Amino acid sequence: TEKETWTYPSPQMFYNALVRKNKAHDVTASDMDVVVAIHNGMNELTWKRLLDWEKLHGAEHKPGCPKLRRFRGRPYDLSIKAKLKSMLGWGFPFDRHDWYVDRGDGKEVRYIIDYYSVDEGQPNPNAGADGTGGLDSIWAD
């Protein structure tokens, strides 16, 4: 429906997921309030950037679109772009998401988002997102 929204995980849910994925080696449950705030902020920024890209396809959109239909975390799968960037010395992303967007025409368009650490080793490191359309969606433009 038009009122559908995504619900972000609670700090405890996020921590449990890290433990389940064997990625909690350098965090504690007490860190999760800050981690979840950063995670949610990155997702909001990513969605905002994706909407900017989707504005280029505004004529294709039906009312209430685009919508995020689903996403899939793929932290161990390097995108083609991430492989190329790593060969050029950019380092590896710490996470990857594939986001599937509905433009209202019955087709899903996939975006691949690689998340990188920025200023790692600094007192206040940041994270950045680098997105591109999936090769399976290249003709959806």
The pLDDT tens digits for 86-99 are 899 988 888 888 99
Select from 138, 12, 8 the least CA-distant residue to 80: 138
More confident residue, 117 or 82: 82
> Can you give the pLDDT at residue 140?
43
> Can you give the pLDDT at residue 90?
85
Question: Which residue spans within the chain are E strands per DSSP?
Answer: 67-73, 95-102, 108-118, 126-133
Task: Write the DSSP symbol of residue 139.
Answer: G
**What rounded mean pLDDT belongs to the chain?**
81
- H or E stretch covering 28: none
Establish whether the linkage from the previous residue to 9 is cis, with ω within 30° of 0: no
Task: Write the DSSP symbol of residue 122.
Answer: S
Residue 116 main-chain phi, psi, to 5 deg: -120, 150
> Can you give the pLDDT at residue 123?
47
Q: For a pLDDT cut of 70, what percent of the chain falls above it?
A: 79
Mean pLDDT (whole number) for 81-88: 90
Residue 35, C-beta contacts closer than 8 angstroms, at least 6 positions apart = 11, 14, 27
> Can you give the pLDDT at residue 120?
57
> Can you give the pLDDT at residue 64?
81
> Can you give the pLDDT at residue 141?
39
Q: Is the pLDDT of residue 23 over 50?
A: yes
